[in-house]
Amino acid sequence: MGVLAAVSAAVDGIRCRSANPHGTGEMVGSRHHVPVETHGPMECHDLMALDFKSYMFLSFAQVPTYAEWLVHDADLRPTFEYQKRVMKLLQWGEPTRPWRLKCPTHVHFLEPLTEVFPDARFVMTHRDPTDSMLSLSELITDIVMSFTDSVDRPYIGRMNIEHWVSGMQKTVEFRAAGADDRFYDIDFRAMQADPVGQVRGLYQWLGEPVTDRFETQMRDWWTRAAAEREPSKSADPVEFGIDLDQLRPRFSDYLEKANKWTVHEFS
């Protein structure tokens, strides 16, 4: 399944600031899921929540009507306009540099996002949807368990599948409508096998250099992050009401496109 991994947007600014001063993984629910540093990246959910339109709320409470409204009916243009104002405030007095924004759920909101950030470019990673749906369902469950002992795992499984089938279809249609050249695609397996090589390809597409110092810092970060990351465990699809044999065909159109998107030719 595709994840919108980064956006290079029109607003120039500073490095993202996380709230963790210790340089360890971000505590989500009961575990450190994401390697985070004081000057490292974080996702857009918190900024979007300032306009009360954010996927983070789906992990706080089971409100199906809000989930349906957010994905299918909510107007995200005011959300991104407010986020842009906050980003301008954060960048004040800092050196001018492109923003690198990360938020997988932007696949649902590409049209309003590009209206607010008209020169945005996208980096999209692609992973087997059976792995993605189980991983995401487990992540949301872990967060929900911070608020309640009663977790409706089948609901979480259904919600994730319906939302991401919709999100991938929206992305396929958005790209087919003339936006394909704004995307750079990376296969998840290739990223795991050769992260520095994949970043080199990305930066060649961006027209930016990968210096020796940059490469050394990437390798150092990868080593530290691997040491901090907790071992993953395989979630039981039955707990979430997920039939893996029925799941993959629902992403067939996207999977066909992703196999082509991740093939790159560089001079």
Determine the pLDDT at residue 234. Answer: 74
Q: Give the pLDDT mean for 115-119.
A: 95
Say yes or no to pLDDT of 227 above 70: yes
Say yes or no to pLDDT of 7 above 70: no
Domains observed in the chain? 2-261 (3.40.50.300)
Angle between helices 153-174 and 64-72 (to 10 degrees): 10
Determine the pLDDT at residue 33. Answer: 52
- 38 pLDDT tier (thresholds 50, 70, 90): low
Residues present in the chain in total: 267
Say yes or no to pLDDT of 26 above 60: no
Mean pLDDT score of the chain, rounded to an integer?
85
Say yes or no to pLDDT of 263 above 50: yes
- 254 pLDDT tier (thresholds 50, 70, 90): very high
Torsion angles phi and psi, residue 143, rounded to 5: -70, -45
Q: Give the C-alpha separation, 25 to 115, whole Å.
A: 33
Say yes or no to pLDDT of 11 above 70: no
Angle made by CA atoms 169, 109, 77, in degrees to the nearest 5? 155
* Tens-place pLDDT, residues 142-198: 889 888 888 999 999 999 999 999 999 999 999 999 999 999 999 999 999 999 999
- 23 pLDDT tier (thresholds 50, 70, 90): very low
Determine the pLDDT at residue 6. Answer: 47
Least confident of 92-101, 206-215, 226-235, 257-266: 226-235
Determine the pLDDT at residue 96. Answer: 84
Say yes or no to pLDDT of 12 above 50: no
Determine the pLDDT at residue 147. Answer: 87
- Identify whether the C-beta of residue 158 lies closer than 8 Å to the C-beta of residue 241: yes
Give CA torsion, residues 92, 184, 205, 265, to 10 deg.
Answer: 170
Q: How far from 17 is each of 40, 43, 111, 147, CA to CA, in Å?
A: 6, 11, 27, 26
- 34 pLDDT tier (thresholds 50, 70, 90): low
* Tens-place pLDDT, residues 56-70: 999 888 999 999 999
Angle between helices 212-228 and 195-206 (to 10 degrees): 130
- Identify whether the C-beta of residue 133 lies closer than 8 Å to the C-beta of residue 156: no
- Identify whether the C-beta of residue 242 lies closer than 8 Å to the C-beta of residue 133: yes
Q: pTM for the full model?
A: 0.84
Q: Give the pLDDT mean for 3-23.
A: 38
Determine the pLDDT at residue 30. Answer: 45
Structure-token pair, residue 177: 């409508």
H/E element, 121 = strand 121-126
CA distance from start to end of the chain: 28
